[in-house]
């Protein structure tokens, strides 16, 4: 009996996203946010792609918006799987699925059988807002960083390394903090005449070397910025970012302000922290500072930090996939978000801050602004390849793993989503990898389930959802509250004083 129940609990079930705290907070506050923005009560604007992302998140995983039906060929047992929003910013479910897909693809088709090392670069505080909305600038700085590290690998190993880098946009409290997780092949491939590629591993990495890499990268980034006349402006801080907006359209300015407030965690849309951190001091300007070596394989300089201590061995399959999943992980984990009695939202931190803070509390509108800022600008690729893994590299085809003959894994015909071009992975396989579940296994007879139909008609989907006890229509969004829009008493007082 107990065994049976436990097994059942591990089978795939509908997600019921509408009962999660995150969903409810968005559902209850999104119209208020839109209204506060249009009334000018919050000095930010929400670009179209951000509004769209907030809205489609509210439809993600709900049967009434469409779904796929699966049926067991042997015993006619059937199940349904709702469509998802494919969000790029914060939808925990969609980003979790993307994490699994990308990590699996990297392990099987991209990363050479060589040791891997993660290099994590964080940017000076005063640059974060700008890098939040200026995708081109962020991409340029990322390129400078990866080239610097690739050059270091060449010096040390005599060969060419490669890297897949991932741009993460937020920190643990969801403040905007664009930073880079780059997984390098930890060594270099040397090309020699008529011989196979020879790989030399980096071996021990000294903390001093991490410091030197950071010094070079920092100097090159500054040089790049000052050549373009950006350094003064970016350094001038106090998030006057709007003035340097790439195109000074209204919307870009508003997006800049949104990113500014989401990076500082302070100005209007932000709420009081649960435990006040003594003014998380913004750098007045990014001064040149001496390199500080911290602990093992960590260094900081000029407001940057660089960590390079995490590795995974060439043969450590589990460790490699875990590392890649880690660098690709979604910003928000459902279980870190709770509501307080006063109607605020508490975000539990992944690790306590050095001052002992374990969680922050925000006004719901502040949370929504942080979620909004977490959506990457359209066209900004958040996963990039360089060195021997770059698409232009002549060595790429010689270092990537040779594809396994597809005898082992059958291509399932029961894909609930339409096939896409490129490396789209069967959904069922992803669920298997991510959750160790076999969603195409019939819960009754253990036979294989097949895709029966896709239901995209909303009326039909609604009727079906009702039959299954799911909401027959989208849960209505709470209507906009009037001013003061805030739940937080401190912010209400502020709003009252300003009026
Ligand atoms: Zn069956
Ligand atoms: Zn989604």
**Per-residue pLDDT at 371:** 93
Domain boundaries, the chain: 92-244+260-399
Instruction: Give distance in angstroms: CA of 94 to centre of ligand 2.
Output: 4
Q: Which ligand is nearest to the CA of 442?
A: 1
Tell which wins on pLDDT, 30 or 405: 30
Instruction: Give distance in angstroms: CA of 273 to centre of ligand 2.
Output: 28
Q: Which ligand is nearest to the CA of 90?
A: 2
The Cβ of residue 259 has, within 10 Å, a number of other Cβ atoms equal to 28
**Per-residue pLDDT at 164:** 97
Instruction: Give distance in angstroms: CA of 445 to centre of ligand 1.
Output: 4
| Distance from C-alpha of 406 to C-alpha of 365, rounded to nearest angstrom | 49
The Cβ of residue 40 has, within 10 Å, a number of other Cβ atoms equal to 8
Q: What percent of the chain is predicted at pLDDT more than 90?
A: 42
List the one residue out of 143, 164, 90 whose CA is nearest residue 373: 90
Q: Do 115 and 314 meet the contact criterion of CB atoms below 8 Å apart?
A: yes
Torsion of CA 271, 277, 280, 281, to 10 degrees: 120
Q: What is the largest CA-CA distance in the chain?
A: 77
For the segment 284-311, the average pLDDT, to the nearest whole number, is 86
Q: Which ligand is nearest to the CA of 446?
A: 1
Concatenating the DSSP letter of every residue in 296-345 gives TTEEEETTEEEEEEEEE-TT-HHHHHHHHHHHT--S--GGGEEE-TTS-E
Q: How deeply is 294 buried, as exposed, middle or buried, from its count of CB atoms within 10 A (0-12, 13-18, 19+)? A: middle
| Distance from C-alpha of 328 to C-alpha of 112, rounded to nearest angstrom | 18
**Per-residue pLDDT at 432:** 57
Instruction: Give distance in angstroms: CA of 79 to centre of ligand 1.
Output: 11
Q: Which ligand is nearest to the CA of 62?
A: 2
Instruction: Give distance in angstroms: CA of 104 to centre of ligand 2.
Output: 20
Q: Which ligand is nearest to the CA of 443?
A: 1
Q: Which ligand is nearest to the CA of 79?
A: 1
Q: Which ligand is nearest to the CA of 91?
A: 2
Instruction: Give distance in angstroms: CA of 22 to centre of ligand 2.
Output: 12
Query: Of 179-188, 241-250, 314-323, where does mean pLDDT reach its minimum?
Result: 241-250
Q: What is the pTM of this model?
A: 0.82
Whether a cis peptide bond, with omega within 30° of 0, leads into 484 is: yes
């Amino acid at each position: 009996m107990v065994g049976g129940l436990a097994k059942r609990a591990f089978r795939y079930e509908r997600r019921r996203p509408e009962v999660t705290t995150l969903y409810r907070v968005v559902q209850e506050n999104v119209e208020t946010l839109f209204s506060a923005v249009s009334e000018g009560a919050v000095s930010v604007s929400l670009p179209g792609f951000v509004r769209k992302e907030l809205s489609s998140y509210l439809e993600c995983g709900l049967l009434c918006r469409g779904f796929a039906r699966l049926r067991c060929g042997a015993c006619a047992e059937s199940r349904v799987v709702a469509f998802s929003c494919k969000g790029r910013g914060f939808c925990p479910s969609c980003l979790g699925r993307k994490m699994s897909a990308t990590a699996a693809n990297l392990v099987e088709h991209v990363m050479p059988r060589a040791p891997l090392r993660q290099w994590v670069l964080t940017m000076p505080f005063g640059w974060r807002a700008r890098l939040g909305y200026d995708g081109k600038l962020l991409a340029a700085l990322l390129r400078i960083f990866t080239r610097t590290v690739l050059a270091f690998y060449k010096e040390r190993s005599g060969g060419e390394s490669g890297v897949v880098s991932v741009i993460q946009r937020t920190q643990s409290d969801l403040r905007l903090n664009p930073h880079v997780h780059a997984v390098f092949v930890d060594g270099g491939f040397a090309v020699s005449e008529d011989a196979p590629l020879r790989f030399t591993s980096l071996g021990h990495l000294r903390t001093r070397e991490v410091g030197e890499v950071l010094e070079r990268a920092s100097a090159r980034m500054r040089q790049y910025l000052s050549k373009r006349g950006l350094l003064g402006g970016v350094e001038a801080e106090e998030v006057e970012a709007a003035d340097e907006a790439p195109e000074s359209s209204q919307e870009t300015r508003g997006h800049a302000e949104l990113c500014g407030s989401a990076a500082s965690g302070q100005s209007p849309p932000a709420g009081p922290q649960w435990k006040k951190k003594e003014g998380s001091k913004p750098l007045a300007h990014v001064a040149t500072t001496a390199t500080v070596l911290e602990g093992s394989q960590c260094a900081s300089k000029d407001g940057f930090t660089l960590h390079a201590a995490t590795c995974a061995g060439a043969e450590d399959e589990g460790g490699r996939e875990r590392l890649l999943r880690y660098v690709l992980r979604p910003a928000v984990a459902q279980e870190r978000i709770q509501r307080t009695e006063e109607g605020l939202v508490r975000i539990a931190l992944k690790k306590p801050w050095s001052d002992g803070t374990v969680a922050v509390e925000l006004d719901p509108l502040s949370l929504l602004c942080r979620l909004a800022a977490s959506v990457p600008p359209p066209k900004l690729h958040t996963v990039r390849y360089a060195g021997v893994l770059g698409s232009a590299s002549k060595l790429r085809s010689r270092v990537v793993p040779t594809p396994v003959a597809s005898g082992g894994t059958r291509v399932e015909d029961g894909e609930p989503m339409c096939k896409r071009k490129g490396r789209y992975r069967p959904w069922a396989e992803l669920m298997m990898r991510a959750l160790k579940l076999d969603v195409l296994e019939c819960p009754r007879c253990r036979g294989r389930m097949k895709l029966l139909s896709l239901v995209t008609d909303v009326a039909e989907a609604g009727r079906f959802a009702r039959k299954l006890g799911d909401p027959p229509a989208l849960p209505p969004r709470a209507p906009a509250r009037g001013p003061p829009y805030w739940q937080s008493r401190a912010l209400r007082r502020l709003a009252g004083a300003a009026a």
